[in-house]
Amino acid sequence: MRVATRQFFFAPFARLVTLAVVFAASICSAQDRRQATNATKDQDVIKELISMYAKAADEAHPALASRVWCDSSEDSLINPAGRWHGLQQILGFYRHEMGDTYSSRILKITDVFVQVYTDAAWAEFSWTFEATRKKDGSAVSFHGMETQIYRKNHNSWCLVHVHYSALPAEKGREQMNK
């Protein structure tokens, strides 16, 4: 009689534990799907910001660039020509280094990869910059790689740091021939 009582007690308990485990697993699975969906949406938003960043370079358009950057003293841009800190210096880069130096610009971005965390993200990509110098009308072409750091600011993504490097000429040609 005692064995039957234990089986009677443990069978519903075992079913209850099994149901609890299945329920918990389904909640975790749903949460993982939601997080993956949110990460994909965030990646898409950041890719749109990268496109806007490229358009701002193409047009040497500081006002458009200001919509991408966080507008913080922490904002920074580093490249082989120098360093710019804070939004005003960075907008000066668009105005002077891009606008005053080149009469036309095309920044082509390829191989974009974006990694999103809760409130921070980074992107990396390859780029080709083709332009015409204002001073003599000569054409220039540079190839490089870039890393960008983003942060979520009041539920919106913004760019806080850029570091890019031009590839040596032979590496740039190899990359273009891929």
Cβ neighbours, 10 Å, residue 108? 12
77 domain-assigned: yes
The fraction of the chain above a pLDDT of 70, given in percent, is: 74
Helix, strand, coil percentages, rounded to 5, for the chain: 50, 35, 15
pTM: 0.75
2 domain-assigned: no
The fraction of the chain above a pLDDT of 90, given in percent, is: 68
Give the whole-angstrom CA distance, residue 163 versus residue 148: 7
> How many domains does one find in the chain?
1
32 domain-assigned: no
Q: Are 108 and 35 in contact (CB under 8 A)?
A: no
Q: Which amino acid is at 116?
A: V
Q: How far apart, in Å, do the first and last CA atoms of the chain sit? A: 78
95 domain-assigned: yes
> Higher-confidence residue: 65 or 24?
65
Q: pLDDT tens for residues 106-124?
A: 999 999 999 999 999 999 9
50 domain-assigned: yes
Q: What is the pLDDT of residue 39?
A: 79
- Tokens 């660039």 locate to 65
147 domain-assigned: yes
Tell me the mean pLDDT in the region 81-89: 96
Spell out the SS3 assignment of 63-78: HHHHCCECCCCCCEEE
Q: What is the CATH number of the domain that holds 88?
A: 3.10.450.50
16 domain-assigned: no
Q: pLDDT tens for residues 3-61?
A: 555 555 555 656 655 655 555 555 554 444 554 557 799 999 999 999 999 999 999 99
Q: Mean pLDDT in the chain?
A: 85
Domain range for 148? 41-176
81 domain-assigned: yes
